[in-house]
Chain A
Amino acid sequence: MPKASKVLLEARDLVKHYPVTRGLMQRTVGYVRAIDGVSFTIETGKTLSLVGESGAGKTTVAKAILLLERLTSGNIIFEGRDLYKLSSAEIKSDYRPNVQSVQQNPWSSMNPRMKIKDIVAEPIFVNTKIRRTEAWAQVAELLKQVGILPETMNRYPHEFSGGQRQRIAVARALALHPSMLVLDEPVSALDVSIRAQIMNLLKDLQEQYNISYLVIAHNLATVRYMSHSVAIMYLGQLVEYGDTEALFENPLHPYTRALISASQLTLPEDSEGQAKQIILTGEMPSPINPPPGCRFHTRCTEASEQCSKDIPEMRKIGTQMVKCHHYK
């Protein structure tokens, strides 16, 4: 981890288990271990990306951070205060305005019957006492920053393209000048040429306002461009966590290596590159009955006997943290 920067948010050992019930009496017969001991820190003005395949638990982490989902155990420390020890009034006045979110799909994250000025102004109306007429000037300024013409603020969402809608969603998230944004797959619903525009915009805004980002993503190339540090998730746990450059230059965990390999651009005639490609067999097991030992051992190309028996611990190797028996 890069040193000496200020920690904005710290997640300590987050656990979320959803009960699985059966029968007339709704007896609990097991638990879906959506997240099972996830810890990370987000520094002021920096980006942490959480990467994993569907079912890895990334969105559950995002929901927990946004306090939309109550954790089974674990602590979230924001600016030195434990969120679960704050009163709901304190959460509403100190935390929620500071942590806003942008969702994946700009076609479903907006009310189609609201004008975009009302969409962007809604957080302002809810959280401040500014009068309506004064809010429009702020809205115009916000729209200008994300590259939407303020003259169009009386239009409805359907009059904008996907990329423009995502810009409007960013403007809404910025309306209260938050210190952190949770971005759940912010560009994966967009076209390639539009994706680059939005990613550049997010980077510019971060530099300008020193906002922290928690990015949920599955596309590694996007992640490398956007983030300062990366956490790779598999079946509810982090398997590797570290500085972006170090992690991409020298991926340690076999799962990280497979993910990077799957996202690499290899031309058909590049037989050397093709041969080096790692193709995992099988699929992610069920989080209701995670495999014993290392959770990845059922698909790992390097698994040994120990991997199926003992649970590996998170170890620090250089600047990275890795959960694998092969590193001691």
Chain B
Amino acid sequence: MSNVVLQVEDLHTSFFTSQGEVKAVDGVSFYVREGETFGIVGESGCGKSVTGLSIMRLLQEPAGQITGGKIIMEGKDLLELNKKHMRAYRGKMISMILQDPMSSLNPVYTIGDQIGESVRLHQDLPENMVEAEVIDSLRLLRIPNPEIRTREYPFQLSGGMRQRVVGAIAMSCRPHLLIADEPTTALDATIQAQYIALFEDIQEKTNVAIIFITHDFGVVARICDRVGVMYAGKIVETATTRDIFKAPKHPYTAALIHSVPSLDKKDDRLFSIEGQPPSLLALPPGCRFCPRCTVSMDICKEQEPPEVKLSENHSVSCWRVK
């Protein structure tokens, strides 16, 4: 088994608003190994992006704060680092790709400047070597004509190419961990397939660990090795991708997979989960999924279910699972 690159233990992140404390992430634990892709899946507002931002320590302070837990990377707890030390990690050891490439690139700097920025910051290289590194990164992301592209501006590129440039920035210092937050959501279907194939290839070459945040089960099936399903701030089920699809144990996971329309057969009616996720300001006392669950019992209303480990790679938080 390869090394664990990142271990998140009982992470709590809250936003303190005028209406009270919003527990966006409420006790999340998972790990990711070298060369592995761990998927975090969930609907909007479940806390998946906040989990990613907490690992990067990029929360909007003072409203957003990590209130508990550990984020251990290669033996060090990132939460104990001061701002300056964290900055040395960010972009070098851990990097992040966001959803919309147009808003993560600066429109008035060239592609080369933007990739070079993190190279200059983290690696002590003479200027001519920086240029070579930049072109290397563009090549890694298979951007055609890198020597010409480096002098172009974001508006001169298509959406798919821009997202590759964002990938090139993220990979420029050869990080050990990459957090990809919905990187393919803004892309077209055929371009999305290209991008995912590209990342599988990059992972094989560099052995980078990837945390892949998404709401799209099609993408999960294609790229993730293991998956954590999040609901209202908690991971309700963690399993290998195969088990998530073939043997889901949590009613939410099962319902979510069931409600994805299938391309292979035409159903007369789609299965849908009634209701909506609870407000994070007023969480139900027991299991958070209980109000929408079709198989809930009395105990589900009163007590939060403990996490049950079914096998080494499969854990579930549900009273139905023993």
Contacts and interface: CB of A to CB of B under 8 A. Distances in A.
Nearest to B46: A191
A266 interface: yes
Interface string A255-275: 000111111111111000000
A279 B194 contact: yes
B272 A268 contact: no
B162 to A, nearest CB: 11
Given A54-B188, A283-B160, A193 B263 contact: no
Contact of B222 (A161, A220, A248, A268): A268
B193 A192 contact: no
B270 A193 contact: no
Which of A161, A163, A265 has the most C-beta atoms of chain B within 10 angstroms of its own C-beta? Answer: A265
Interface string A101-137: 0000000000000000000000000000000000000
A196 B272 CA distance: 5
Contact of B43 (A193, A200, A260): A193
Contacts of A281: 194
B188 A53 contact: yes
A84 interface: no
Contacts of A163: 276
B189 A192 contact: no
Contacts of B58: none
Given A266-B221, A267-B242, A245 B266 contact: yes
Interface stretch (B3-11, B132-140, B253-261, B300-308): B253-261
A172 interface: no
B190 A262 contact: yes
A221 interface: yes
Interface string B158-194: 1111000000000000000000000000001111111
Contacts of A225: 261, 266-267, 270
A248 B218 CA distance: 18
A218 B263 contact: no
Nearest to A274: B222
B159 A54 contact: yes
Given A192-B43, A193-B259, A225-B261, A200 B191 contact: no
B99 to A, nearest CB: 13
A160 to B, nearest CB: 10
Contacts of B274: 197
Contacts of A162: 44
B188 A277 contact: no
Contacts of B193: 261-262, 277, 279-280
A190 B262 CA distance: 17
B109 interface: no
Nearest to A197: B272
B270 A199 contact: yes
A176 B12 CA distance: 50
A194 interface: yes
Contact of B269 (A54, A200, A269): A200
A222 interface: yes
A63 interface: no
A12 interface: no
24 contacts: A53-B189, A161-B276, A163-B276, A191-B43, A191-B215, A192-B215, A196-B270, A200-B272, A203-B269, A218-B189, A221-B262, A225-B266, A225-B270, A248-B263, A259-B189, A262-B192, A263-B218, A265-B217, A265-B221, A267-B245, A279-B190, A279-B194, A281-B194, A283-B160
Given A196-B261, A263-B218, 4 more contacts: A53-B189, A220-B263, A264-B264, A268-B225
